[in-house]
Structure 1
Amino acid sequence: MSGWTADEMPAMDGETVVVTGANSGLGYEGAKAFADAGATVVMACRSAERGEAAATDIRRTVRGGALNVHVCDLADLDSVAAFAEEAIETYDGIDVLCNNAGVMAIPRQETADGFEMQLGVNHLGHFALTGQLLSALRASEGESRIVTQSSQAHTAGEMDFSDLQSERDYGKWSAYGRSKLANLLFAYELQRRLREADADVVSVACHPGYADTDLQFRGPREMGSSVRMGVMKVANAVFGQSAAQGALPMLYAAVSDDVIGGEYVGPGGFLDMRGAPEFQTSNAASQDEADAERLWTVSEELTGVSYDFG
């Protein structure tokens, strides 16, 4: 995959791709690339207004495809369920689901369902969404893929099941690391269960390296810290690669023939922060099958969503 770029994406005419958080950052760039390849892109966005603005902007530059905006607030399980129901009714099947949306290093907040916000949006919302879209993924012709966006910050995460919602002890970065570790535990466990069920669906994980997006600014913005905003601007300028470059691992995981399921794709350049996508190895904690099974059970209990593998 040396030097792989979005120009090498295959034609995706007739395929349907769901991208969460498609109105900005990595999701925006992913939606643009999928549409340019000819796919029908379902832009799952928290704000219909911001989603439509992004879709209008993308349509000016892409050669084909279609962009359809649907509301999906991952911090509200009712919104997730409504989106999944609408998607199943609207589309014959789903070929790719990109679990991309996320929040990072914000002051402690709770979702509509009482979950710690970073775990709730980054993991639990996507867990519920994937389970409710599984029938549509299985209904697509040929192999379909589920791509879950993690981060190298997973190495700072710890699955403390006695305080999963960080109610006793909250650190914005440790909570973010936990949510990204949960993404990997979920993606790998999902692949094991799909393989056991002999389903024509594969689960892949990815990370963007250090991409210059608005994600880094939400925490400082909500804290009202102009100093932290300034630090982030400098860090993004010095270390960050473009959002379009950061989206490449997600795109590669979604379309490459080299992917068989269970991989972790990230940029292969300096400190895995930038560069072309390559297969990588996540840390030992992310491959703990006992933790993965426990997280799966807890996630089912918290979201009320059980997977039907047929």
Structure 2
Amino acid sequence: MQTVKKCGTVSILGRPNVGKSTLLNQLIGEKVSIVSPKPQTTRNKITGVLTRDAVQMIFLDTPGLHKPRSKLGDRMIKTIYSTADDVDLAVLVAQADKLPGKPEQMLVERLAHNGIPCILALNKTDASKKDAILEVIGRYAALHTFAAVVPVSALTGDGCDALLDEIEALLPEGEHIFPDDALTDQPERVLAAELVREQLMRALYEEIPHGVVCETERFEEQEDGQIEIDVLIVCEKDSHKSIIIGRQGSMLKSVGTAARAEIEKMLDAPVFLKLWVKVKNDWRNNAYFLSELSVMQEQ
């Protein structure tokens, strides 16, 4: 008997810092989306691919639901809703002890209007009290009829197999779009730039990391197998540039060392990474500049 193939797109939605990117990486089994403790780490739509036997799941990680304060923020919100409008299934990730608000209500209403089934993935249940979890489930149930409610821990992976089973059951029949061993459709040069930004997000504080973007200027494999990568770090102020570079280049060196280790792990090859910093005032409100960034392009 011939096995019936299934394939579909799954958007991962939710507020900032609820664990969407961590969950995506856990489901895929590899790092395809950068993670940091700071909100708005994810700025664009990240595609992760998982093929389990006859079923291919194409995950779309999205920025967190927030009130935009720049043209960059506007683009991020458009990414969320355009992704939510054009998928086979949505997974709404929520913190197990946080009640839903207006953003979640607007999102599930939009999903219902478009006829898109939605699974509620309650993250951090291992760190939440049972009474709080039950109240959260009740509030969400009053907002929307979910296809399933699955408790998970994005950090440890608990509940992820159950979530994948629920996703598989809801996906339509169809031929696979990507090769069965594919993990993402993001170019390696984009992933490299994002891995540098991940380390900046972890190392910097207050508003500075949100005013930083990274762009790969050069990505060349050498005859000896080493890959040489030049990444430009763009920030908004001269004072921010000084902090990013650090005293005698200490911050930039630290960020570069950590980023190179992550890139080498991704590429499974030695990497020579060069970083430099440039100031572009108010780049987050520069529509032309945003349109030229490869990390903001639809892949």
Normalising TM by the smaller chain, what interval? 0.3 to 0.5
TM-score normalised to structure 1 length: 0.35
TM-score normalised to structure 2 length: 0.36
